[in-house]
Amino acid sequence: MKVPVKVDGRELTLSNLDKVLYPEYGFTKAEVIDYYSRVAPVLVPHLQGRPLTVKRYPNGVDGAFFFEKNAPQHTPSWVRRVTLPVPGSTKNRETIEFAIVEDLATLAYYANLAALELHVPQWRVSKDGEALPPDLLVLDLDPGAPATIVDCCRVAVHIREVLAEDGLTATPKTSGNKGMQLYAPWDNRVEPSDYARSLAQRLEKEHPRQIVSVMTKKLRPGKVFIDWSQNNPAKTTVAPYSLRARPRPTVSTPLLWEEVEACESPDELVFTAADVLARVDDHGDLFAQA
């Protein structure tokens, strides 16, 4: 069944609204669209100007999925698109035409495509579509079992202190999966990947039982891997307030530092779509400074 709607004056056709995309939770496509529509006031500002990569699950989180960087051929004309070079493309493409979410209508369009996960880089494009220097630094904290997000929280506090020494203010969020990320506004004092790598290596030396700075799997059990490589301009990280394709409709959720400092159980930092909407009502956009 197809349903024509108008979103902020833009015409869209929604389809298969009763399709269950999260079977364990009974969460339908209609609920995905509703979540993204309601969280848009705090989500869209973090997507604006950033080339979009989506992870689409047309048959739900238990089915096949695919990453999509190119704007689909049927993308409405009013969706902003930019063509950018992609050196080293795995599909041997010289350029990709990316979509950019600038408004609620574009967000609803992608939600209707079952684009459950929204991923963006740490840089924006200019009004003319030229890539700008990075404006964010990100440190992705990945716990190696039996370490959990509780261990990530301990490491996050160490990172916050080091960033503060350098005049940078860290903002935490869950990944919506098993780990978390820290972001800080970036002033391009040096290459962000170089800075992040040095920070990770320093903390590994200071806390060798807690932290590892390399991806080697045999070194990671029981430790938190600080993935500094997410600052590579070709890489993306899940956006704040994006859903994740987990059994439950969990969300990459901005956190209060008080929650990070007090965390004693992984369950304390698992938030579903409904939880996040309630948090936004209570706190507004906790990611506003990032």
SS3 222: coil
How do strand 224-227 and strand 136-143 relate by DSSP bridges?
antiparallel
Mean of per-residue pLDDT scores for the chain? 96
Please compute Rg for the chain using Cα positions.
19
Q: CB neighbours (10 Å) of residue 196?
A: 26
Where does the pLDDT of residue 253 fall: very low under 50, low under 70, confident under 90, or very high at 90 and above?
A: very high
Query: What pLDDT was estimated at residue 88?
Result: 59
Write down the pTM of the prediction. 0.96
Q: Which residues pair with 85 in a beta bridge?
A: 95
The Cα–Cα gap between 189 and 20 comes to 47
pLDDT at position 1 is 85
What is the mean predicted confidence (pLDDT) over 65-71?
A: 97
DSSP state letters, 207-220: -TTTEE-S--GGG-
pLDDT at 255: 98
Per-residue model confidence (pLDDT) at position 90? 61
pLDDT for the residue numbered 279 = 98
| Mean pLDDT within 167-191 | 97
pLDDT at 89 > cutoff 70: no
pLDDT at 263: 98
pLDDT beyond 70 at 91: no
Q: Counting Cβ atoms within 10 Å, is residue 118 exposed (0-12), middle (13-18) or buried (19+)? A: buried
Neighbours of 282 (CB within 10 A): 8
The string of pLDDT tens digits covering residues 217-239 is: 887 899 999 999 999 999 999 99
Residues 242 and 117: beta-carbon distance below 8 Å: yes
Per-residue pLDDT reduced to its tens digit, 128-169: 999 999 999 999 999 999 999 999 999 999 999 999 999 999
Average pLDDT over residues 51-79: 97
